[in-house]
Amino acid sequence: MDQKATNMDRLRQRLYEIYGPLGEAWLPRFASLAATAAEERTASATPWDERDAVLIAYGDHVRAPGEHPLHTFQEFLARHRFDDLFNVVHLLPFFPHSSDDGFSVIDYTMVDPALGDWDDIRDLGRSFDLMFDLVLNHVSQHSRWFQDYLQGREPYVRYFHEVDPAADLSAVARPRSLPLLTEFATSRGPRHLWTTFSADQVDLNFAEPQVLLEMAELLLQYVRHGARVIRLDAIAYLWKQLGTSCIHLPQTHAVVKFFRELLALAAPRTLLLTETNVPHAENISYFGDGDEAHMVYQFSLPPLVLDAWLNEDARPLVRWLADLAPAPPGTTFFNFTASHDGIGVRPLEGLVSAERFLRLADAIRARGGLISTRHGPDGRDLPYELNITYFDAVTDPGCQDTDLQVRRFLATQALMLALRGIPGVYFSSLVGADNDVAGVEQSGQARRINRRKFPRDELHEALARPASREARVLAGYRRLLATRRRQPAFHPDAEQRALRDVPPWLVAVLRVSRDQRQRILALVNVSGRRHSWEIPADAAFRPARELISDRAWPPARRVELDPYQTLWLESAS
């Protein structure tokens, strides 16, 4: 049996897992869709390497009067040679929307005219591979689909979840401290509909196969517009079944596997990334057996790194890294510390003590951050995410030493960049952005604290001053990214071993290239004090060069690290 026939059989199997016998009747429509969209190019045997790094940004992250923001953004990236540092841009939702900074989509097929048009997207794609969001759990109540639902038109009357408000929903996992159901006036009278994230974001009903077909068409349309990676937003909540938690249900996993098989048929070079801000074991379940998502966010990493730096004690982080199993073959982690959202704390569950967690929350408040909550199983509001820029989160609010603050922040980023997987860097982190308190006050949304948009001329002026925080952070990041992409030991599939028996102030991670010819020991001092440490004899590592500074290193096993210093030591051959 050839590969195409094998993929088609798997597609049939996934449809059966989702819809039972009904899935067979829908197979010809999905097969036709795949055949129409099919690319002639085949999948690469190695879909990623050490040169891969993703820039995460909004289309209007950089603004200039009288210009399409997407054009302004592209010009900014070109002027500062970001194509030397990143080969992928994750362009956060750029569609017409009604709320949530793009994640309440009105029309999935259009570029928001306030940002630009598809030509602007195409121009950006000439310099970078692109990542798009498929916001598939919910749609804006202002969308045509929902408006047709309100009017009782077919097939849209089956596109949304009508729920009896008297139904027992106590088992449902809740990511927000908001009502789960919202009442809407329809042509058939009032109806209560499922709205997981807000009243403006109405959940789609994937039990209706036509909804899956709509999303499959959009997935392949995004591929045609240049997407190398598709991010499946809020995928964990996709399937609803009363009496269950309605999170991570088998049908949800089957949908992700279905999309992967569809891409294998139509666009084998395109990758799926799942966004599931949940505890680690639940999060990595979206790898499946290597047959589900190609990439999974490393959600436990941002809060664990933050905990290590604020306590100057990396033991919980080191334990987690030492126990971290490699991703299944054909998959990899998506590493990050900051994104457009807050820093999720559910991924800390079971990794730090309750006392440390409370200290972490108090430290964020002391730095001007906010704490967003969710409804817990007992109805109480529980912390869900920390809303703060990562620069402000890791720095000391009482310290006036900019050099020290920048070094402290860059140390967190250097660790992230050294880990197995593909790194993602949020635009605001590249310039050391501080909390956008005014944005929160104007919008009433806690997440706006980390979504500052930058006037182009002001940003250019700041970056032109070498002593500015923005210029120092970007220069440090540029050095790290440029160094990283030249090291085979930083390939996403290269071996990784975190050394367990190290002092609390140290993180030590050994990376070994796939051909065993390069060994890098990444060392990070998470404390504000100078320390020395001796490389264990059993590490079979003899330093020869420090890669970040690009200088020879004495072969002695004892290493001195300044406060918040990072070393990428390369072993002698």
Sole residue written with tokens 């077909």: 213
From 76, 102, 99, select the one nearest 89 (Cα to Cα). Answer: 76
Strand 422-426 versus strand 332-335 pairing type: parallel
Q: Say if residue 155 is preceded by a cis peptide, omega within 30 of 0.
A: yes
Tokens of 296: 């999974």
Distance CA 566, CA 2 (A): 49
Task: Mark out the alpha helices in 464-518 (DSSP H runs).
Answer: 469-484
Which residues are CB-contacts of 436 (< 8 A; sequence separation ≥ 6)? Answer: 389, 448, 449, 450, 451, 452
Tokens of 108: 């999935």
Distance CA 487, CA 490 (A): 6
52, 120, 233, 392: the catalytic one is 233
Q: Kindly state the DSSP code that residue 345 receives in the 8-state scheme.
A: S
Is-contact 431 417, C-beta < 8 A? no
Tokens of 383: 């912390």
In a 3-state reduction of DSSP, which class is residue 189? strand
From 371, 360, 390, 362, select the one nearest 440 (Cα to Cα). Answer: 371
Is-contact 54 131, C-beta < 8 A? yes
Q: Per-residue DSSP letters for 265-311? A: HH-TT-EEEE---S-HHHHHGGGTTTTS-SEEE-TTHHHHHHHHHHH
Burial-class residue 42 by CB neighbours within 10 Å (0-12, 13-18, 19+): exposed
Which residues are CB-contacts of 126 (< 8 A; sequence separation ≥ 6)? Answer: none
In a 3-state reduction of DSSP, which class is residue 169? coil
- Distances, alpha carbon 113 to alpha carbons 59, 69, 120, 122, in Å: 11, 10, 11, 15
Distance CA 178, CA 138 (A): 15
Which residues are CB-contacts of 5 (< 8 A; sequence separation ≥ 6)? Answer: none
Sole residue written with tokens 């500074």: 549
Instruction: Give the amino acid at 486.
Output: R
Query: Around Cβ 334, how many Cβ atoms within 10 Å?
Result: 26
Sole residue written with tokens 């971290």: 324
Tokens of 385: 């995410």
Sole residue written with tokens 């259009």: 110
Tally of residues, the chain:
573
Does residue 2 carry a catalytic annotation? no
Q: Kindly state the DSSP code that residue 386 receives in the 8-state scheme.
A: E
Catalytic residues: 233
